Amino acid sequence: MHDGTIASLEEVLDHYTAGGRAHENPNKDRRIRKIELTSQNRAGLLAFLRSLTDEELLRDRRFSNPW
């Protein structure tokens, strides 16, 4: 997740299939709610999301931390 509280794509999907955080949050967008995924849909979604990562770009020193 954007704030580092969820470490893996699998955990992100768990988060959203559960409907977001368990506690009430007044800032939670009302459109975030529990979603249903079959195991086949979940596997397909994970495969698609993983295909978006360019491993070569991640290792390219030209884009490393400039500090």
**DSSP-derived secondary structure for 1-28:** -TTSS--SHHHHHHHHHTTS-SS--TTS
pTM over 0.75: no
Structural domain boundaries in the chain = 9-63
pLDDT of residue 22: 66
Task: Identify the pLDDT of residue 60.
Answer: 92
**Per-residue model confidence as pLDDT tens for the chain (67 residues):** 678 889 999 999 998 898 887 667 788 788 888 889 999 999 999 999 999 989 898 889 988 877 7
